[in-house]
């Protein structure tokens, strides 16, 4: 037999679903050598996840493709609740906005997962110069970590043996069906059951065995610095690490159908939560291209003694007739079905999200739950939006390896919250509505509405608040112990503790920018050209940290003096800005300083009033006009009132450090430079203060 080829790669990503593609996108945007493999020979074309939450859209915007999703998607504006009246007939009982008003510049939209994967693939191609592309029909057959080299920055301690499948071996069953005919009611319809949790056999071993009998030598050995396992709910990587998902399945079984409905139900183009008196519940999700997704509770299918439902009983006809009963007396039918599946509700979360900070698990591989709240794809992508830049910057020697532990401390808590939320929500959704207040077995519709409203904030992805770590400087969720000591829960190992008192003072400088939460967005104007920008648009996912200087009223001489002093410290050769930047690189290549001031735009001048540090000069391209912004009224787009909204004092301002994923890491005063220096020292690799030829800063190369 032939010897397998061997190679090194910085990051190997296993699985090219939404989570894996997000990880690959970070590698492309940060310029990291990475590979991504998937056992299937194609991406998804229809079905599966479809809801995109506000936070996911903000993330897409930072990557550069929110506009594509926004244009193609169906926009979800209102939710209608339908419950049985005293006569037992369903009627509309409430209307609420689908997205909490004012929460984000985006609102929830729906578009199928296949399109989202397409946007990612295009984006990764563009930003990696086509050097990162999904290698399809490739899956791992073994994975080993050399723990003795786990702390060696130069080492490639993870060895993965990859196997390449034939076209036939890697084709999902769905594809063969699609080839078989039309998608009409009688024709063949894309069936998502092969990926459903009701189908539980693991096919990897079988695929590898077959492939080995065909060609024993068809494998390749990859030595990786880091591996990210994004291989879905039945994750091979998770099993290879010996990690488990903890939690339970419930008895609730739901069907999902994407159809073009023919109906007299009045709210078919609204998102609806429908509880029938006796026939179960239904959720309506209006979609793009006249499609509507129906989530339908299947009361007639129940799990057997082993806890598993018999999937052979579940057909589109069975699912749809359940929907017809729930919607009665309204009529519903269809001629075209795009996709269907069924799943058993269960909530599980991974015990561990990483091994030796070398192999990480993300997405469905570490949390599974019911899909109705549209969380699966969103939380999975957000896992990798949290993880990707950390791995990228550590692999490039820009950040310290110790930041990698924050992935688990930050995301496991989100996964746990998600599971708790889903547990509550699924129970309220699958329960029969209470007949009256004495009906203890039934679900109170008031309680359901309440949970829906609260759930909406959680589901937007914007309530995430990361605990203290060397990336998030704040007081912990401190819990006083019996002995009087304080224990921080849900926090990574801390190098620098901050007392609650000190932290409260810092946070008071920017009450609208809670440390640990994502940097909210308001409109500001570019000082040089007066164009309005949502400030978040300036926080691109390019792997850079940012220091946002709220310069306050720059026309006040005392305040100007404070700003000058802050900039002098930045210019110092020993400053974090200089020491975190590798020699020869532009001064803003690792940490970018952005300014928002509050004086009148027309009374201020970029070159006269702002130190050069805030708009660095480059000998080839001149001044940087994209770094100084003003909180002022625009000609065409109103007034963002950013200082008020961020809760920052208009005279004195403050300073905020922002992570590459847009989370607020530190807040302080203009005089807290040393503390800010400490923040960056805690997470970044500093170069020696003398040997640093950083380009473009004040007093360094290029300034006239
Ligand atoms: P996945 O999207 O599962 O991606 C995993 C990838 O890894 C796949 O491309 C797979 O081919 C690949 N892979 C698996 N094993 C290996 C291996 N050994 N080697 C190499 N590659 C491998 N969410 C909703 O919000 N709404 C819904 O209605 C909804 N319906 C769903 C229906 C079904 C049938 C399924 C399976 C999921 C559904 N989801 C839904 C969930 C949503 O699709 C997931 O939460 C989301 O896709 C998770 O992304 P991921 O990248 O973590 O995993």
Which active-site residues does the annotation give? 50, 287, 295, 371
Judge whether 257 and 282 are in contact, CB under 8 Å: no
Using 70 as the pLDDT threshold, list the residues of the chain that sit under it: 1-2, 172-188, 194-202, 217, 250-251, 307, 372, 477-495, 690-704
How many CB atoms sit inside 10 A of residue 151's CB?
12
User: Ligand 1 in contact with 15 (CB < 6 A)?
Assistant: yes
User: Ligand 1 in contact with 16 (CB < 6 A)?
Assistant: yes
3-class DSSP state of 344: strand
ipTM: 0.97
Please give the distance of CA 598 from its chain centroid, rounded to a whole number: 32
H helix intervals, 183-266: 204-214, 236-241
- Segment (H or E) for 446: helix 445-459
| Nearest CA owner, ligand 1 atom 27 | 49
| Nearest CA owner, ligand 1 atom 53 | 232
For position 312, what pLDDT does the model report?
77
3-class DSSP state of 31: coil
Judge whether 530 and 507 are in contact, CB under 8 Å: no
For position 179, what pLDDT does the model report?
46
| CATH of segment(s) 5-459 | 3.50.50.60
Question: Residue 213 phi/psi, 5° resolution?
Answer: -70, -30
For position 486, what pLDDT does the model report?
43
For position 249, what pLDDT does the model report?
72
Distance from C-alpha of 587 to C-alpha of 697, rounded to nearest angstrom: 6
Distance from C-alpha of 474 to C-alpha of 42, rounded to nearest angstrom: 45
- Reported as a single tens digit per residue, the pLDDT across 161-210 is 999 988 877 776 654 454 444 466 655 677 777 666 666 555 787 888 78
User: Ligand 1 in contact with 236 (CB < 6 A)?
Assistant: yes
> By C-alpha distance, which of 16, 115, 136 is closest to 72?
115
DSSP bridge pairs for 479: 487
Residue 506 region, left (φ>0) first, then alpha (ψ -120 to 50), else beta? alpha
Q: C-alpha dihedral over 518, 386, 626, 587, to 10 degrees?
A: 130
CA of 4 to the centre of ligand 1 (A): 30
368 CA closest ligand 1 atom index: 45
3-class DSSP state of 348: strand
DSSP bridge pairs for 532: 525
CA of 205 to the centre of ligand 1 (A): 19
> By C-alpha distance, which of 156, 136, 134, 132 is closest to 146?
156
Question: Residue 497 phi/psi, 5° resolution?
Answer: -90, 145
> By C-alpha distance, which of 23, 121, 144 is closest to 391?
23
51 CA closest ligand 1 atom index: 25
**Longest distance between any two alpha carbons in the chain, whole Å:** 82
How long is the chain? 704
Tokens of 253: 């079984």
Residue 618, preceding bond cis, omega within 30 degrees? Answer: no
From the options 3.30.1490.20, 3.90.1150.10, 3.40.30.20, 3.30.70.1140, give the CATH code of 477-683: 3.40.30.20
Distance from C-alpha of 406 to C-alpha of 516, rounded to nearest angstrom: 12
Tokens of 628: 């100084």
User: Ligand 1 in contact with 380 (CB < 6 A)?
Assistant: yes
Distance from C-alpha of 41 to C-alpha of 174, rounded to nearest angstrom: 12
| Nearest CA owner, ligand 1 atom 23 | 49
Distance from C-alpha of 214 to C-alpha of 169, rounded to nearest angstrom: 11
User: Ligand 1 in contact with 377 (CB < 6 A)?
Assistant: yes
CA dihedral sign, ordered 78, 385, 258, 325 = negative
Judge whether 478 and 614 are in contact, CB under 8 Å: no
3-class DSSP state of 76: coil
Distance from C-alpha of 323 to C-alpha of 333, rounded to nearest angstrom: 10
CA distances to 95, 272, 327, 425, 452 from 92, rounded to whole Å, are 8, 9, 12, 20, 15
DSSP 49-61: --EE-HHHHHHHH
User: Ligand 1 in contact with 51 (CB < 6 A)?
Assistant: yes
DSSP 78-143: EEEEEEE-TTS-EEEEEEEESS-TTS-SS--EE--HHHHHHHHHHHHHHHHTT---EEETEEEEEE
CA of 37 to the centre of ligand 1 (A): 14
State the residue for tokens 């896992």: 383
Q: What is the bridge-based pairing of β-strands 545-552 and 591-597?
A: parallel
> By C-alpha distance, which of 5, 535, 395 is closest to 220?
5
> By C-alpha distance, which of 191, 160, 181, 218 is closest to 1?
218
User: Ligand 1 in contact with 196 (CB < 6 A)?
Assistant: yes
H helix intervals, 498-574: 500-507, 557-571
State the residue for tokens 């300073």: 655
User: Ligand 1 in contact with 40 (CB < 6 A)?
Assistant: yes
Distance from C-alpha of 207 to C-alpha of 211, rounded to nearest angstrom: 6
Distance from C-alpha of 581 to C-alpha of 583, rounded to nearest angstrom: 6
> By C-alpha distance, which of 431, 433, 429 is closest to 452?
429
H helix intervals, 470-514: 500-507
Mutate to test the pocket of ligand 1, among 51, 377, 381, 384 (most ligand atoms within 8 A of CB): 377
| Nearest CA owner, ligand 1 atom 34 | 196
How many CB atoms sit inside 10 A of residue 261's CB?
21
For position 484, what pLDDT does the model report?
44
Distance from C-alpha of 445 to C-alpha of 453, rounded to nearest angstrom: 12
CA dihedral sign, ordered 547, 550, 555, 556 = negative
> By C-alpha distance, which of 141, 150, 183 is closest to 39?
141
- Reported as a single tens digit per residue, the pLDDT across 498-513 is 889 999 999 999 999 9
Tokens of 488: 């921080």
User: Ligand 1 in contact with 35 (CB < 6 A)?
Assistant: no
Tell me the domain boundaries of the chain: 5-459, 477-683
State the residue for tokens 């130190």: 611
Tokens of 216: 């024993």
CA of 230 to the centre of ligand 1 (A): 9
| Nearest CA owner, ligand 1 atom 40 | 49
How many CB atoms sit inside 10 A of residue 684's CB?
22
């Amino acid at each position: 037999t032939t010897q397998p080829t061997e190679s090194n790669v910085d990051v190997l990503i296993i699985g090219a679903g939404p989570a894996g593609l997000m990880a690959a996108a970070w590698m492309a945007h940060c310029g990291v050598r990475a590979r991504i493999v998937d056992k299937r020979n194609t991406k998804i074309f229809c079905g599966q996840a479809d809801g995109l939450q506000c936070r996911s859209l903000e993330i897409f915007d930072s990557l550069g493709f929110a506009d594509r999703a926004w244009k193609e998607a169906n926009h979800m504006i209102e939710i209608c609740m339908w419950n049985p009246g005293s006569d037992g007939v369903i009627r509309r009982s409430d209307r609420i906005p689908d997205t909490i008003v004012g929460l984000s510049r985006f609102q929830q939209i729906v578009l199928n997962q296949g399109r989202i994967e397409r946007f990612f693939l295009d984006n990764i191609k563009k930003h990696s110069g086509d050097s990162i592309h999904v290698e399809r029909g490739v899956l791992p057959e073994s994975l080993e970590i050399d723990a003795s080299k786990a702390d060696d920055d130069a080492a490639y301690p993870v060895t993965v043996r990859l196997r390449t499948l034939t076209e036939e071996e890697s084709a999902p069953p769905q594809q063969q069906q699609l080839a078989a005919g039309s998608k009409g009611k009688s024709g063949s319809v894309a069936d998502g059951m092969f990926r459903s949790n009701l189908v539980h056999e693991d096919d990897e071993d079988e695929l590898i065995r077959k492939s080995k009998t065909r060609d024993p030598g068809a494998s390749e050995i990859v030595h990786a610095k880091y591996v990210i396992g994004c291989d879905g709910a039945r994750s091979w990587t998770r099993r290879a690490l010996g990690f488990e998902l903890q939690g339970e399945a419930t008895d609730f079984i739901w069907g999902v159908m994407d159809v073009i409905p023919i109906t007299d139900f009045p709210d078919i183009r609204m998102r609806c939560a429908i509880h029938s008196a006796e026939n179960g519940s239904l959720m309506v999700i209006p979609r793009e291209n006249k499609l509507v997704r129906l989530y339908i509770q299947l009361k007639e299918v129940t799990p057997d003694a082993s806890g598993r439902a018999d999937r052979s009983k579940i057909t589109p006809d069975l699912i749809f007739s359940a929907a017809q009963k729930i919607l009665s007396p309204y009529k519903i039918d269809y001629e075209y079905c795009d996709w269907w599946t069924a799943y058993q509700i269960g909530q599980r979360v991974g015990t561990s999200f990483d091994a030796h900070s070398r192999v990480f698990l993300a997405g469905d591989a570490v949390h599974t739950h019911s899909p109705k709240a549209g969380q699966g794809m969103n939380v999975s992508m957000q896992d990798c939006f949290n993880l990707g830049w950390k791995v990228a910057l550590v692999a490039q020697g820009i950040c310290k390896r110790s930041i990698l532990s924050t992935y688990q401390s930050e995301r496991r808590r989100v996964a746990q919250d998600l599971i708790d939320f889903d547990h509550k929500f699924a129970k309220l959704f699958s329960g029969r509505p209470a007949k009256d207040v004495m009906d203890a077995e039934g679900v109170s519709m008031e309680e359901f509405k309440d949970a829906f409203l609260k759930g909406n904030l959680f589901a937007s992805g914007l309530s995430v608040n990361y605990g203290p770590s060397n990336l998030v400087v704040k007081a912990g969720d401190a819990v006083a112990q019996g002995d009087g000591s304080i224990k921080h829960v849900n926090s990574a190992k801390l190098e620098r503790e901050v007392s609650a008192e000190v932290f409260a003072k810092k946070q008071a400088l920017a009450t609208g920018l809670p440390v640990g939460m994502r940097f909210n967005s308001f409109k500001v104007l570019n000082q040089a050209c007066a164009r309005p920008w949502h400030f978040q648009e300036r926080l691109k996912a390019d792997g850079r940290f940012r220091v946002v200087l709220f310069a306050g009223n720059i026309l006040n001489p005392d305040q100007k003096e404070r700003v000058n002093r802050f900039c002098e410290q930045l210019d110092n050769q020993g400053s974090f800005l200089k020491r975190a930047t590798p020699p020869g690189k532009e001064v803003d290549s690792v940490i970018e300083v952005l300014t928002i001031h509050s004086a009148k735009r027309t009374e201020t001048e970029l070159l006269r009033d702002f130190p050069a540090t805030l708009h660095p000069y480059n000998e080839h391209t001149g001044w940087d006009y994209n770094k100084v912004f003003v909180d002022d009224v625009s000609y065409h787009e109103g007034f963002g009132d950013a200082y008020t909204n961020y809760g920052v004092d208009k005279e004195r301002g403050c300073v905020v450090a922002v992570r590459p994923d847009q989370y607020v890491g530190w807040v302080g005063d203009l005089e807290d430079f040393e503390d800010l220096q400490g923040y960056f020292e805690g997470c970044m690799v500093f170069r020696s203060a003398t040997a640093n030829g950083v380009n473009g800063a004040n007093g360094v190369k290029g300034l006239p």
